[in-house]
């Protein structure tokens, strides 16, 4: 076990995946998960076992699982080990584990230590640990989160103030980047929770009106702030003006929550007619779906079904129909796509079609169609076929297919199938070692790089 292997697992979801570890735990195989962690160095097994053991109050056994991983010095493992120690009441030992060695390279190395200090009842110490490093937006956010409901709002506002003012000045001077770009909304959030809602609205409203903000979520937060406190007139003005892109969705939800969904729909349809903005169209699809009007949602999404970007609502609408128990209608909708669209999106269309056939209970038809495709023509072809074969009771065929497959997902799919069939020990034993998996991944990466004309 070494840091390099652990980092590779976390980065690529290599080794035994979280899904497989959870599957094992869900079927009562905690002992095998622990064994895989210890004998194979499987990080996701260690993580799953530790959390399962801690939930059951078995902290010493959890420590035995995590300690070898923490001994490598890899920070995620050390942090998890500190959590185990903290839960057993060994607070000083937990704090020592996560306290960074000085000098630190960047302020966020103090984050875990500060959070644990706060949980240990040393909130003022935690605040002072973060205070010198608030040029980092993540630490500003951490400061706000860890002090929630703990009577430190004035101190937090004092620490945020220079960053918020700096962001305002930067934007007034034509800049688009500043370490305090999130501080405006954080400041308003603290004012709100401190009961100073009018002040929060006034300050953030002035920033939005004067365009003294650097990130779009400032407008979104302001709209949500207005909605939370029933300021519908101000919210309507915001949502129907220059800030509609960010504020219209919160306005629509606020109207819906007040029993005015029809009014919200009329406003959305008018704006869509005027702008045809895909963001507003998706807001209307969402509204109609919440109202149970799936057919209307389909029709609103229909004009986007052959878009070539994230404004395409086809997959979303297909899911709505399946969730509504209408996979056959979803299939018909998919089959209506133009020949040009199907040709240019064959991989996606083929994968969706197999999913919808299975959802409609047409498993044998889905198997036949999948077998007629090459592995390059749909997502995880062999895994898809194997799951379909399993569904109709043809388990031996599914196992044989996965054992012979060259697909990168096949070993994991084989293991999951064996686990579901009550053969968990065989499943784990059949998985390639971490080193073998890494070698295969490196070969695939090289082949991909060699075939990529832009690499």
Q: Domain range holding 313?
A: 243-344
Span 275-330, pLDDT tens digits: 988 899 999 999 999 999 999 999 999 999 998 878 899 999 999 999 999 999 99
Instruction: Clarify whether residues 301 and 355 are in a common domain.
Output: no
Instruction: Clarify whether residues 412 and 330 are in a common domain.
Output: no
The answer to whether residue 254 sits within a structural domain is yes
Instruction: Clarify whether residues 20 and 82 are in a common domain.
Output: yes
Instruction: Clarify whether residues 394 and 359 are in a common domain.
Output: yes
> Quick one: 200 exposed, middle or buried, by C-beta within 10 A (0-12, 13-18, 19+)?
buried
Instruction: Clarify whether residues 355 and 331 are in a common domain.
Output: no
Instruction: Clarify whether residues 326 and 368 are in a common domain.
Output: no
The answer to whether residue 275 sits within a structural domain is yes
Instruction: Clarify whether residues 320 and 361 are in a common domain.
Output: no
Pairwise CA distance, residues 264 & 452, whole Å: 48
List, in sequence order, the alpha helices (H) in 324-452.
327-335, 339-344, 346-359, 363-371, 381-391, 395-404, 410-420, 424-430, 434-451
The answer to whether residue 285 sits within a structural domain is yes
Residues in the chain: 455
The answer to whether residue 182 sits within a structural domain is no
State how far the alpha carbon of 203 is from the alpha carbons of 75, 153, 168, 328, 424, in Å: 39, 17, 11, 52, 59
The answer to whether residue 155 sits within a structural domain is no
Instruction: Clarify whether residues 31 and 51 are in a common domain.
Output: yes
DSSP class of residue 23? H
The answer to whether residue 84 sits within a structural domain is yes
The answer to whether residue 263 sits within a structural domain is yes
Q: Which of 98, 119, 141 is the last residue of a domain?
A: 98
DSSP notation for 212-253: --SSTHHHHHHHHHHHHTT-HHHHHHHHTTTTHHHHHHHHHH
The answer to whether residue 228 sits within a structural domain is no
Number of domains in the chain: 3
279: domain CATH number is 1.25.40
Instruction: Clarify whether residues 317 and 374 are in a common domain.
Output: no
Half-sphere exposure of 419 (CA within 13 A, CB side): 26
State how far the alpha carbon of 188 is from the alpha carbons of 127, 128, 212, 356, in Å: 19, 22, 14, 46
Residue by residue, pLDDT tens for the chain (455 residues) are: 899 999 999 999 999 999 999 999 999 999 999 999 999 999 999 999 999 999 999 999 999 999 999 999 999 999 999 999 999 999 999 999 999 998 888 999 999 999 999 999 999 999 999 999 999 999 999 999 999 999 999 999 999 999 999 999 999 999 999 999 999 999 999 999 999 999 999 999 999 999 999 999 999 999 999 999 999 999 999 999 999 999 999 999 999 999 999 999 999 999 999 998 889 999 999 999 999 999 999 999 999 999 887 889 999 999 999 999 999 999 999 999 999 999 999 999 999 999 999 999 999 999 999 999 999 899 899 999 999 999 999 999 999 999 999 888 899 999 999 999 999 999 999 999 999 898 888 887 777 666 555 44
Instruction: Clarify whether residues 280 and 369 are in a common domain.
Output: no
Instruction: Clarify whether residues 339 and 384 are in a common domain.
Output: no
Q: Which of 312, 344, 376 is the last residue of a domain?
A: 344
Instruction: Clarify whether residues 318 and 382 are in a common domain.
Output: no
Whether residue 422 contacts residue 410, with contact meaning beta carbons closer than 8 Å, is answered with: no
Q: Which of 279, 310, 344 is the last residue of a domain?
A: 344
What is the model's pTM?
Answer: 0.89
């Amino acid at each position: 076990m070494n840091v390099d292997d652990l980092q590779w697992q976390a980065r690529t979801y290599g080794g035994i995946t979280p899904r497989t570890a959870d599957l094992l735990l869900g079927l009562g195989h905690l002992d095998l998960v622990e064994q895989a962690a210890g004998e194979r160095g499987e990080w996701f097994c260690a993580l799953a076992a530790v959390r399962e053991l801690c939930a059951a109050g078995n902290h010493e056994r959890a420590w035995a699982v995590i300690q070898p991983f923490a001994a490598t010095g890899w920070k995620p493992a050390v942090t998890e080990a500190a959590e185990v120690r903290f839960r057993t009441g060994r607070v000083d030992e937990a704090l020592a584990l996560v306290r960074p060695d000085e000098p630190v390279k960047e302020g966020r190395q103090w984050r875990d230590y500060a959070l644990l200090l706060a949980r240990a009842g040393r909130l003022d110490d935690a605040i002072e640990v973060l205070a010198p490093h608030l040029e980092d937006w993540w630490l500003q956010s951490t400061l706000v989160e860890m002090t929630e409901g703990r009577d430190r709002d004035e101190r937090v506002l004092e620490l945020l103030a220079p960053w918020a003012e700096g962001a305002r000045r930067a934007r007034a001077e034509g800049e688009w980047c500043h370490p305090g770009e999130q501080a405006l909304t954080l400041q308003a959030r603290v004012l709100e929770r401190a009961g100073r809602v009018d002040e929060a609205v006034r300050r953030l409203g002035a920033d939005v009106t004067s365009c003294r903000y650097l990130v779009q979520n400032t407008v979104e937060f302001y709209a949500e702030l207005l909605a939370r406190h029933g300021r519908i007139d101000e919210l309507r003005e915001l949502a129907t003006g220059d800030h509609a892109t960010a504020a219209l969705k919160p306005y629509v939800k606020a109207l819906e929550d007040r029993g005015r969904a029809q009014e919200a729909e009329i406003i959305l349809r008018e704006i869509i007619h005027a702008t045809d903005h895909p963001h507003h169209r998706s807001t209307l699809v969402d509204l109609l779906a919440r109202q149970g009007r799936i057919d209307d949602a389909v029709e609103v999404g229909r004009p986007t079904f052959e878009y070539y970007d994230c404004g395409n609502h086809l997959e979303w609408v297909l899911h709505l129909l399946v969730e509504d128990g209408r996979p056959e209608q979803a299939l018909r909708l998919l089959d209506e796509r133009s020949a040009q669209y199907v040709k240019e999106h064959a991989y996606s269309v083929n994968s969706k079609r197999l999913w919808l056939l299975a959802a409609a209970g047409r498993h044998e038809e889905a198997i036949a169609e999948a077998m007629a495709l090459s592995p390059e023509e749909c997502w995880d072809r062999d895994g898809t076929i194997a799951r379909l074969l399993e569904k109709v009771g043809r388990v031996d065929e599914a196992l044989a297919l996965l054992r012979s497959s060259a697909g990168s997902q096949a070993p994991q799919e084989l293991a999951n199938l064996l686990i579901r069939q009550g053969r968990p020990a065989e499943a784990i034993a059949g998985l390639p070692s971490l080193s073998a998996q890494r070698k295969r991944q490196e070969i695939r990466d090289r082949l991909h790089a060699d075939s990529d004309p832009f690499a």
